[in-house]
Chain A
């Protein structure tokens, strides 16, 4: 113990030993090589720790900081032993030297142990850059996952919101047609409660006429021939009414099996009704345009014609004109003027027919109308010695009586007028019912009409087809107008020398 105390008291005392130069036999070169090398080692060993300390203070990274410090201390201590070795040539402070060596030994071994403990961990570490990249990726994946979760949740929420609050009917339907889930809008559309629907299938509430089409689509979807379909179909509501729905359907598959249909139902009844109304109005408008054009044609030819003739005539009469021509022309003035008046009367009749179009009429008995027209044609019937075969299977029709009188009058007077010489005139008149329409047929065995030549003009104004007859081309024109104004149709079949058959289809009767 005394030695230890002695050691530390005389730590810096060098008197117990001679300077190294004088201990042994040192040549100058040997001594200075020893001294210079020791100083250089010390210098280097002193610098390295400075660099290490600078390095670790500059870097933010805290990893291995302790190890770096140990290295610095150990190298610094090693350097110190070399320094003391060098100065021992003059100041042999061997006690200090021993202490420094002891410190060096301790620090060295601490470093060794630390190193051994850290080494496996250090080996397992990857370079910092890879580490950072990996870290980035992990962060990204995590945030992506988070976003995905939010989206999934939002998606569920969104679907729920849409499903619950949509104005469109949405339903999940089992591949066999049972309703799996229906939203309120679907219930409102069909008039059933949710419970009622969930105990039924879409087939139960589909209009029978539309079921086959719908099922055909369903089959195609199940066979993967199509991914979705849209159709306009009718459903039967709880109160028995048919409603028009635009149906859009897609099919969800799970594990290769059809899981459920997502059906969307939009009420298009109003649109459908509107469309039908527009179509009806369009048809009406078109028929009006046809009528206006016809009116225009009559004015252009049958009114302007005689009027311009009169102008032409006066223009001519004012200038040189011989007595004979003057007398001829003046004799024709009345005819031409009468032509204008007749045409005006016809136009007035035509307008009246069209103004009364569609107005409600009471039923008229065919026999009454026939009788009225026969009174006017009494002489013609007798003169022609005609045979009338009358059979009214349907006794009455909703058609204005004056028009029905006029229809009979015109058709019968034509049949009598255009009878064939040398053949007893036979006129068949009968009514029947066909596809909900009442049909009136008037058939004669007269001279007939060349349909190829005149078929198109048959019902046109002032068209005549037979020379040598008193015809004005107005009868059939007005007949057609009267029938069409009451939504009917007139057809004709004719063969020259065989006869003519007129068939009138009256509007379907609302019972």
Chain B
């Protein structure tokens, strides 16, 4: 794989998913470093701190919907308000266990969201997701 992403951010309150996804990303070798956030609030605070620096911001964000304190939608509502530098390229995927049309339609309303994938995300599925970004880049 010629194209390489520098940082991925996993935003999900599920510890098992966090570990499995982290290992899957590591094994793919496509991404250098991984950031882990256990709810939307934790993640948004990180972005609010780092928005002005050119380092440490993930180019791939895997976002869960159902989380305590701040869910995925609330995260997105806050995220789009952050005045990032124009050269910050990010791809956001929603990774949720929900396949209801309510959630799928809601995701389409966010321009910042590139895609929606329903859990479970196996190794093969993750390779597909990776290919969809690197192919498009």
* A interface list, Cβ under 8 A from B: 293, 296-297, 300-302, 304-313, 315-316, 319-321, 325, 328-329, 332, 336, 453, 457, 462-465, 467, 473
Contacts and interface: CB of A to CB of B under 8 A. Distances in A.
B114 interface: no
A313 B16 contact: yes
A127 to B, nearest CB: 90
B68 A463 contact: yes
Q: Which one of A310, A313, A315, A465 has the highest number of Cβ atoms from chain B below 10 Å of its Cβ?
A: A315
Contacts of B27: 320
A473 B13 CA distance: 15
Contacts of A312: 16-17, 20, 119-122
A328 B19 CA distance: 9
In this complex, the member of B16, B17, B69, B118 whose beta carbon has the largest number of chain A beta carbons within 10 angstroms is: B16
A305 B66 contact: yes
5 contacts: A300-B100, A311-B120, A312-B119, A312-B121, A329-B19
A316 B20 contact: yes
A309 B68 contact: no
B50 interface: no
Given A312-B122, A464-B68, A297 B100 contact: yes
Contacts of B98: 297, 300-301, 304-305
Contact of B99 (A300, A320, A325, A465): A300
B90 interface: no
Contacts of B15: 332
Q: Which of A309, A332, A457 has the most CB of B within 10 A?
A: A309
Q: How large is the interface on B (under 10, 10 to 19, 20 to 34, 35 or more residues)?
A: 20 to 34
A31 B68 CA distance: 154
6 tightest Cβ-Cβ pairs between the two chains A and B: A300-B98, A308-B119, A301-B66, A305-B97, A304-B97, A312-B120
B19 A325 contact: yes
A309 B16 contact: yes
A300 B97 contact: yes
Contacts of A306: 14
Interface of B: 14-17, 19-20, 23-24, 27, 65-66, 68-69, 71, 74, 96-100, 102-103, 118-123
Contact of B122 (A304, A315, A329): A315
Contacts of A302: 66
Given A301-B96, A464-B69, A315 B120 contact: yes
Nearest to B41: A467
A308 B66 CA distance: 14
B19 A309 contact: no
Nearest to A329: B16
A333 to B, nearest CB: 8
B100 to A, nearest CB: 5
A315 B17 CA distance: 12
A289 to B, nearest CB: 12
Output the residue of B20, B100, B119, B121 with the most chain A CB within 10 A: B20
A308 B100 contact: no
B74 to A, nearest CB: 8
A482 B71 CA distance: 25
Contact of A293 (B14, B71, B102, B119): B102
Contact of B97 (A308, A329, A462): A308
Contacts of A304: 97-99, 119
